[in-house]
Structure 1
Amino acid sequence: MSRRPGARRIAGRVNADFLPVTSSRDDFLRDTDEFRVFDNAMRKEVDKLLISVKKEGDNKANLQASRVLKDAMHLVGNAMRRRKELFPAAQVPFGEADAVSSKQGYDVSQATYVDAGSQLDSTLANRLGIDKKKKQARGRPSAVLGDKSVIRHLRVANMDVAVRMEHLGADEDESLRSGGIIFLNLDHPLYTLYRDNDELLSLHLTRVLTKEITLSIGDVSAPQAFAIQSELLTDALRRKRKSI
């Protein structure tokens, strides 16, 4: 049972003095009816505990994803508010929203949770489906925490930037755009590396968001795009430092 995913996170003690032991008294006699009944009962109990542990881990990971995304979007929203001239609405392919009435000059929506992998546009669903088959051929992937995708919107002026935290797979890019939505990869090695530190996760997402938003600008050269992202990221991180 100890080889099962998550089993090592469970610790406890069971009094089984009714089981026959070996002559050296350092183990149970395993080839007995008593031990088989005991082993079967314990496996069922461990199954229940593993479900509970996984659910608790999923809930914690879902809330963390929502929390760090909100923090990153506030940083980016402030930076975009200060540099609105960099983002003519006609050139940003994220649709339009009503004018933002927030005193901050931008608005970050409440989180919406959907089942991971659900409600994807056909292009992305097909892409991830193909990748999933490849991963299955290589063997079982490591356990992943979080069973929900988190969706938030960032509204600045008349722009509406939709962002979704999604399990795209460790082999996928850190972010991509599909169906007018920015997808941030919860399985990317950098995200999993920083998972124990909310501040580092927030900074990671801030960098990725500024990259994707900059790439959404119209006809600009690569040097111009890098310069715009640098300005946005610098402004966002400067504000982050002041708030610490």
Structure 2
Amino acid sequence: MREEATLRIPVTVDKSHIIALGERLYGESIELVRELVNNAYDADASGVNVQINKDNIVVEDNGNGMTLEGLKEYFNIGSPQKRILKKSPRFAREMIGQFGIGKFSSLSACQRFEVWTKKDNFAATVTFDKHEWEKNKDVWHLPLKIHTPSPKQKNGTRVTLTGLTKNFKVSDVKAHLMETVPLKAPNFSVYVNGEKLSSQYIAGKKIPFLEGTEFGTVYGEIILVTSGSSPQEKAGIQCKVKGVTIKRDFFGLENLGSPAKKIYGFVNANFLPITSDRTGFIIDSPQYQAFEAVMQQVAKRVREQLRILADERGNRKINRRLKEAMKRIEKALLHNPDLCPFGLAAQGEKIEEGEEKLEITKEEKGGPPPEEWKEPKERGRERPKFEEFARKRPKIRSLTSTGVIRQLKAKEMGITCLVDHFGEDGPESYIEGSVVYINRDHPVYKEAAKTRLSFVMHLARL
């Protein structure tokens, strides 16, 4: 059998795909500003100035700048240089860029972008114009102008976007950069129209965490806003790679409803693989699965802290209602002296017409106390006062650290009330000795707690 000849065919890329790639790389055009600022970070810039104008956008940095070879590498689509270097030469920063295609995102919002750069004795300008690029399909070159650098000029790069096709609000650019660039990194500042950006401080309960995986470290901090107005930024946990926010996530905590609106913070995991548009993760990768397992454990801690914070707020309400309920019980005993503890009776004192002042008093006021009221004597001497406090107190079994305990005492008699979590399927209440346990998880309790009067009467009944 005669063998068939093996042919070879070339793999080509149409020039128009360069423009299509830039225009469709990101879902929002505002991402291009973030991409340019992050490029400056990778270039060891200590300062980046972003100027948003009606007709153009200028992003200028004081980074390392580029030589001629550096410019060629800059326009090399898919260049692996940053993945090979991994860290910047001056500040040893973890390189943010990975794919070598972000610079073309400028085409999503402009007709033309110009890159000026200077490194030591070299300075040049490269221009990419959509119309010129599309004129000749066989020409794959860009115009390059080499300048004589001025001794006063410092190293750095400036990217200018002209012929804007999208409108950019300065406030939107600021908010986006505050979330998506590493503003907390040392020796790095970003200015937008002359105003320095800084990450927003959020006050609240902080939950720091640091966990290890086989791929690397997962660390961060969750903040639960406890009081005051909510921060300006969106709720959620910022998932960062190398200090840059890729997306926000709640890791199942969004099912909590309104408490989820109080959850802020960040988590950083440099080993996570990200999508080419830098807006998501490769979720079926083993790295992401390990990351997800860690964050589910963190989410459990967050749920427990939210429960404690909710209990602390609810406990203030419970204490007020328990106090009111006990006053009602006291008042009821005054109206029903036959139910009062021995030695106590109700006495009414007229204040004004139609009103009585009620108090619990000793039954034989003004005379010697009954024999039963006298303190017992031991071996011919009176018991020392400190022994009064050595009486055996009831054992109270509190299931959580946020249980509410109140005592109602009448001479030698008294009860202790404990409001705590015993589960929705647990009893409404039960008694052990002189301790009354009230279940705050019970459906009847939750329904009664909605209004003041029903809550007070419910507690008094129990």
TM-score normalized by structure 2?
Answer: 0.28
TM-score normalized by structure 1?
Answer: 0.48
Instruction: Find the structure with the greater CA-based Rg.
Output: 2
Structure (1 or 2) with the greater helix fraction: 1
